[in-house]
Amino acid sequence: MTSGPRAGENQGKVTVNKATPKSHSSHWGAFTANFDGDALVVQPFKDDPDPSPILKNIPSALAHPSRLSKPLVRKGWLNDGPGPDDRRGRDTYVEMEWDAALDLAAAELSRLGGGTAGQKPRGEVPGKHVFGGSYGWSSAGRFHHAQSQVHRFLNMAFGGYVASVDTYSTAAGSVILDTVVGNATRITREGNWWEHIRDRTELVIAFGGLPLRNLSVSPGGSSQHIARDSIQQGLARGCHFVSVSPLDDDFSAAGNATRIRPRPGTDTALMLGMAHHLHVTGQTDEAYLARYTSGWDVLRDYLEGRTDDIVKSPEWAEGICGVTAGEIRHLADEAAGKRTLITVAYGLQRAENGEQPVWMALALSAMLGRADQQGAGFTYALGSMGNHGKPPLAVPVPTLPQGRNRSGDFIPVSRISDLLLNPGTTYTYRGEERRYAEINLVYWAGGNPFHHHQDLAKLSEAFTRPDTIILHESVGTATTAHADIIFPATITAEREDIGASAGDPYLVPMERLTAPFGEARDDYDIFCALAQRLGCLDLFTEGRSSRGWLEHIYAKTERAMKNRGESAPNFADFMTGGPLKLPVSKTPGMMEAFHRNPETNALTTDSGLIELYSEKVAASGLPGHPAWIEPREWLGGTGAEARPFQLIANQPIGKLHSQLDFGPTSMSHKVDGREVARLNDRDANRLGIAQGDVVKIWNDRGATLAVASPDPGVASGVIQLSTGAWYAPRHLEGHGLVCLNGNPNAVTSDRGASPFSQGCSGQTALVSVSRIEGPVPAVVPHKEILPREDGTEDQLRSEIIDPRGVPLDL
């Protein structure tokens, strides 16, 4: 049986034997850890063939000066109560005791309709003014997954909330694949591609490359990094790798690969040129196209120029993408003659018209056919996430049930600024017209929108609009500096959990390594304390403590193992027994089954086939087939006259997103604490920019500073600045608002990828680049991103009981 709920159970009660090594996990790797004196010693999981250097960031989190130890409340909110407030982002914060801060938050939740879900008036849409989308990766560990926790809490306290759909990772790509192959998740996850690359594939064409830095990460926990070995064994067997990318190091395994550098955003034209060549030279697999696809005739007409008088010849493609017609023909010929795998990284679809390169790559692989050959075909985002291309698991992994969201309202996740700025206005998504809700309360836990969203000046403006913003965070990020009530959250090292990721072969017990920092509490305990005040504690906890929940969610996996006749330890033994190997599924994946029999295993598309033409897409106003659509910001367009560089804002090598940006691996990739931007060496020469110069990267949306690194491995006209630096906007004489630390989202655009998917398009942006002359301001250290006030709580206590004259009704 489980023990009863104990809200705030961590407080002062934790004793941990710190010397014994314990099992733990992170999004970038499983590991064991123990203390040697005060130092946390992290050892990669013994069965991980290629552990990530990002593991070295972990000890820095334990007591970093940016950690939050007590609840904080924004001074303006304390003084004036809830309401839109343009001081957000430039206000100071006051420390409060837990009970007082929880009372404040509970009063505000109850003012906005929070309380026992069952007491809602009939007919009212639950939580319609509460935005709980709360996008973000938080930490590995499936029970303390902050996003699940906040969703569950809002479902229990309000009966629902305005949610978010899709991800910043993939939205344009997922929406199009859902439409034209029926299920984006299944085509991404079902297929043993790394094994095939090792043993069978003859040619891999990787749009966006196969960067090992990205493959170090799997959401929920990562135990085995197999990409490097698989690629190297494939190379040794004679498999040819072609990395199509503006950055040479997007193919980063040792060994020879061919590199092709199209202009960013033009891969669809390159693929159309290949397709045209295959078609006119009779190298298409017409039998495959007839049996497995619909709409080939429409795409063929488009290739031939029958619909728009433009023949999509390799010469036409060369004019757009900059790759010579000869190279395009050569690649198409090679693909037709070999067992070819085509993959497209997420990065390409995080862009305007991001649907098109994904859809066209699928079409190109259909034209090549080879349904019966393992190791040939199309797979989505093999180079983007460590758990793709591995066989799916045969048993379910633990997750926290989130309850039911009865609101039914949502936004496509990257519409956050528009939601807050334009309530009541309409937009389209997947062919439907929708309307933005009016939001009073934003509740965020486990994400950093001032890392992940684009056009951060616009987001800052959007965050002035709600009445109240409540946030759980473990460190003082730029998002905390825009919130009203901040609850300090523990990090995984300070609690128990279970690490798991779809497709990752191990279930990893995450033992507690140390006591919580200061007065930080688990997200679960914070929600328990609020649920208690709102009268929905039992609903939220179902009578379980954290450990009770862990036992409960582990039981599902344990049962499934036993049903298959495999042994599984009981919960207590599992938690101290190290990573548990899980069985993998032998059931054929979606595409394999479809290829075996497209009638009995039809896809869940309108036609049951791979759609090279889609009525749904056509009805949304886009061309109904994959097409070259000129983006607003690209190097071949008129915008490039004023802003001659294409920024690539890709994933950082030394960290996951903004997490542990202060850790040693992350810091080793910076100069003087500032993010580094790489640009082509000849471009740098031309502009008089030398290694180590600080440059301003800017456009009409904003500006950010970075340290220049000229590099022949970067395509001409491209400047690469990875995401992750903590946003630190400051007014600089003569320059306006500039992020001193090098966050690229100061300059990216938050326009939707298209009216169909409304996906994040933040991977690229046209910018100007110039060297900063004269003295350069220092970076803002992590610990100063959130401005805190000293010891004023007592003076303010009289003002904090009753923010808007609304009595606490408990």
Ligand X SMILES: Nc1nc2c(c(=O)[nH]1)N[C@H]1C(S)=C(S)[C@@H](COP(=O)(O)OP(=O)(O)OC[C@H]3O[C@@H](n4cnc5c(=O)[nH]c(N)nc54)[C@H](O)[C@@H]3O)O[C@H]1N2
Catalytic site positions: 135, 137
Q: What are phi and psi of 75, to 5 degrees?
A: -60, -45
Residue with Cβ nearer Mo ion (289 or 348): 348
CB-based contact 455:633 (threshold 8 Å): no
How far apart are the C-alpha atoms of 727 and 75, rounded to whole Å? 21
How far apart are the C-alpha atoms of 607 and 621, rounded to whole Å? 20
Type and span of the H or E element at 788: none
Q: Which class for 798: exposed (0-12), middle (13-18), buried (19 or more C-beta within 10 A)?
A: exposed
Residue with Cβ nearer ligand X (277 or 350): 350
Write out the binding residues for Mo ion, residues 160-199 only, by CB under 5 A. Answer: 169
Residue with Cβ nearer Mo ion (451 or 472): 451
Sign of CA dihedral 104, 107, 112, 113: positive
Q: Residue 29 Cβ, how far from ligand X at the closest point, in Å? A: 11
Question: Amino acid identity, residue 670?
Answer: K
Q: Which class for 479: exposed (0-12), middle (13-18), buried (19 or more C-beta within 10 A)?
A: buried
Residue with Cβ nearer Mo ion (82 or 654): 654
Type and span of the H or E element at 679: strand 676-679
Q: What are phi and psi of 770, to 5 degrees?
A: -145, 150
Residue with Cβ nearer Mo ion (218 or 545): 218
Q: What are phi and psi of 259, to 5 degrees?
A: -115, 130
The pair of structure tokens assigned to 106 is 């509970």
Count of residues near Mo ion by CB under 5 A: 1
Write out the binding residues for Mo ion, residues 121-160 only, by CB under 5 A. Answer: none
Binding site for ligand X (CB under 6 A): 136-139, 144, 146, 168-169, 207-209, 211, 213-214, 216-217, 244-247, 250, 262, 264-265, 267, 345-348, 350, 383-385, 445-448, 451-452, 454, 472-475, 477, 489, 491, 523, 648-653, 656-659, 723, 744-745, 748, 762-764
Report how far apart the first and last C-alpha atoms of the chain are (Å, whole number). 30
Distances (CA, A) of 58 to 64, 408, 668: 11, 38, 14
How far apart are the C-alpha atoms of 156 and 119, rounded to whole Å? 11
How far apart are the C-alpha atoms of 72 and 105, rounded to whole Å? 11
How far apart are the C-alpha atoms of 635 and 99, rounded to whole Å? 55
Would you call 80 helix, strand, or coil by DSSP? helix
Residue with Cβ nearer ligand X (245 or 460): 245
Q: Residue 150 Cβ, how far from ligand X at the closest point, in Å? A: 8
Q: Residue 691 Cβ, how far from ligand X at the closest point, in Å? A: 21
Find all residues with CB under 8 Å of 262, minimum gap 6, and list them: 244, 246, 269, 270, 321, 322, 323
Q: Residue 698 Cβ, how far from Mo ion at the closest point, in Å? A: 26
* CB-based burial, 200-209: b 16+ in 10 Å, e otherwise: bbbbbbbbbb
Question: Amino acid identity, residue 397?
Answer: V
Q: What are phi and psi of 557, to 5 degrees?
A: -70, -45
Regarding 454 and contact with Mo ion (CB under 5 A), the answer is no
Distances (CA, A) of 493 to 22, 35, 42, 298, 501: 10, 12, 11, 55, 18
Q: Of 422, 349, 463, 380, whose CA–CA distance to 759 is shortest?
A: 349
Question: 23 - beta bridge partners?
Answer: 32
Among ligand X, Mo ion, none, what binds residue 612 when CB lies within 5 to 8 Å by partner kind? none
Residue with Cβ nearer ligand X (261 or 300): 261
Q: Residue 668 Cβ, how far from ligand X at the closest point, in Å? A: 13
Q: Residue 763 Cβ, how far from ligand X at the closest point, in Å? A: 5
How far apart are the C-alpha atoms of 473 and 496, rounded to whole Å? 18
DSSP code at position 44: E
Q: Residue 674 Cβ, how far from ligand X at the closest point, in Å? A: 17
Angle CA(801)–CA(803)–CA(806) in degrees, nearest 5? Answer: 90
Q: Of 715, 156, 621, 224, whose CA–CA distance to 402 is shortest?
A: 156
Q: Per-residue DSSP letters for 285-326? A: -HHHHHHHEE-HHHHHHHHHTTTTS----HHHHHHHH-S-HH
Find all residues with CB under 8 Å of 563, minimum gap 6, and list them: none
Q: Residue 533 Cβ, how far from Mo ion at the closest point, in Å? A: 34
Type and span of the H or E element at 576: helix 571-576
The residue number whose beta carbon is nearest to ligand X equals: 347
Question: Amino acid identity, residue 728?
Answer: A
Would you call 702 helix, strand, or coil by DSSP? strand
> Which residues contact Mo ion by CB under 5 A?
169
